[in-house]
Amino acid sequence: MAKKKEKETKEEKETKITDLPGVGPAVATKLEDAGYFDLMSIAVASPAELGDASGLSEASARKVIQAARKMMNLGFEDASEYLKKREEIFKLSTGSKNFNALIGGGIETKAITELFGAFGSGKTQIAHALAVNVQLPREKGGASGKAVYIDTEGTFRPERIKQFAEGIGADPSKILKNILVARAFNSDHQMLLLEKIPEMIKNGEPIKLLVIDSLTAHFRAEFTGRGQLADRQQKLNRYIHQLSKLSDQYNLAVLVTNQVMANPAMMFGDPTTAIGGHIVGHASTFRVYLRRGKKDSRVAKLIDSPNLPDNETVFFITTNGIADEES
Binding-site ranges for ligand GTP (CB under 6 A): 117, 119-125, 155, 259, 317-319
Binding partner of 35, given ligand GTP, Mg ion, none, CB within 5-8 angstroms per partner class: none
Choose the contact partner of 135 out of Mg ion, ligand GTP, none; CB within 5 to 8 A by kind.
none
CA distance 27 to 25: 6
290 near 260, Cβ under 8 Å?
no
> Of the two residues 124 and 273, which places its CB atom closer to ligand GTP in the complex?
124
Residue 103 Cβ vs ligand GTP, minimum distance, rounded to whole Å: 17
Which partner, Mg ion, ligand GTP, none, binds residue 121 by CB below 5 to 8 Å per kind? ligand GTP
Among Mg ion, ligand GTP, none, the one that 120 touches (CB under a kind-dependent 5 to 8 A) is ligand GTP
Task: Let me know: does 209 contact 252? Beta carbons within 8 Å.
Answer: yes
41 binds, among Mg ion, ligand GTP, none (CB under 5 to 8 A by kind): none
- Taking alpha carbons only, the member of 264, 298, 297, 277 closest to residue 45 is 277
Nearer to Mg ion, 54 or 258 (CB): 258
| Residue 32 or 151 having the CB closest to Mg ion | 151
**CB-wise, 60 or 125, nearer to ligand GTP?**
125
Contact residues toward Mg ion (CB under 5 A) are 123-124, 155
Task: Respond yes or no on whether the N-terminal peptide bond of residue 46 is cis (omega within 30° of 0).
Answer: no
Q: Which of 242, 271, 4 is nearest to 112 (CA)?
A: 242
| Residue 120 CA to its chain's centroid (Å) | 21
Residue whose beta carbon is closest to Mg ion: 124
d(CA 258, CA 212): 9
CB of 124 to ligand GTP, least distance (A): 3
Give the residues across from 107 on adjacent strands: 92
Q: Are strands 107-108 and 91-92 parallel, antiparallel or unpaired?
A: antiparallel
Residue 254 CB, nearest distance to Mg ion (Å)?
A: 17
In terms of CB distance, is 36 or 156 closer to Mg ion?
156
Q: Which of 123, 237, 135, 208 is nearest to 178 (CA)?
A: 135
Give residues with Cβ within 8 angstroms of 96, minimum separation 6: 313, 315, 316, 322, 323, 324
Q: What's the closest the beta carbon of residue 213 comes to Mg ion, in angstroms?
A: 6
Residues 6+ apart with CB under 8 A from 91: 100, 104, 105, 106, 107, 108, 109, 141, 253
Residue 214 beta carbon to Mg ion: minimum distance, rounded to whole angstroms: 6
Whichever of 245 and 291 has its CB closer to ligand GTP, that residue is 291
Of 129 and 134, nearer to ligand GTP (C-beta) is 129
